[in-house]
Amino acid sequence: MTAFKDKVVWITGASSGIGEALALAFAEEGAKLVLTARREAELQRVKNKTGLPDHHVLIIPMDVTDFEKAAPAAEQVIGHFGRIDIMVHNAGISQRSYIQDTDFEVYRKLMDVNFFSTVALTKAILPHMVAQKSGHFVVISSVAGKIGTIMRSGYNAAKHAVIGFYDSLRAEGYKDNIQVTTVLPGYIKTNISLNALNAAGDKFGKMDRNQQNGIPAEECAERILQAVKNNKREIYIGGFREVAGLYMKRFFPGFVFNQVRKDVPE
């Protein structure tokens, strides 16, 4: 029997990339899934790929920035499965634009998707986890949540905010057996740069070279599951450069700053 057998796992951003890989990995472990993203057809595709019985996968198509839908969605999950064991906050969007060129509304959208959507769902779910005296939040932040980089100011800010918020939740939830695992991926081979926002809020539409050469989403998902099994508080996933950068930021921040200011994205 696996650690996730019959656990109810809710994943946002489940229609592609890391979210899809996590859905398949949790399904392999025998979990019951709740899949959320905007594209219902893609969610259905992922559901079919899991091979799970129909009643073991609940699809909730939703734009996570429709904050008023968070509470009804949580009630729908409780009504279907009776509980929520693991909440994976994976929905996100990146950015490729300089601060002086970026519309304010782009920053608002970056914060809404990457930060406030997680707060809204957490506020809706937390009372249920407190009542059952168990629960685990898995929060996909980023290396950008520790290291601010060029052309990603709003994305960096949102991912920093996520880390701070869930550090607080980890401390507050301890007495109720609420766990938090914060995940800091580096370059993972997904379409995140293609879908990133430019200065006007349109799609960037280009694949970053580093992203193209990143580690597979499936490998990232497996490492996340292992971290959740072991109740890790924070994990770094990526190549040598990104992970080394995180440790260098801690001990040699001046060196990292000098490198980052030279590292202009393609």
Which residues, 6 or more positions from 222, have their beta carbon under 8 angstroms from its beta carbon?
Answer: 25
Alpha-carbon gap, residue 252 to 171, rounded angstroms: 28
| CB of 43 closer than 8 Å to CB of 37 | yes
Which residues, 6 or more positions from 43, have their beta carbon under 8 angstroms from its beta carbon?
Answer: 14, 15, 35, 36, 37, 59, 61
Tokens 């401390």 appear where? 171
Alpha-carbon gap, residue 143 to 149, rounded angstroms: 10
Tokens 């693991």 appear where? 86
Residue 164 token pair = 């701070």
User: For residue 186, which of 240, 224, 223 has the smallest C-alpha distance?
Assistant: 240
| CB of 33 closer than 8 Å to CB of 80 | no
Which of 107, 155, 166, 187 is flagged as catalytic? Answer: 155
Alpha-carbon gap, residue 65 to 77, rounded angstroms: 18
User: For residue 114, which of 192, 217, 220 has the smallest C-alpha distance?
Assistant: 192
187 noted as active-site residue: no
Active site residues: 155
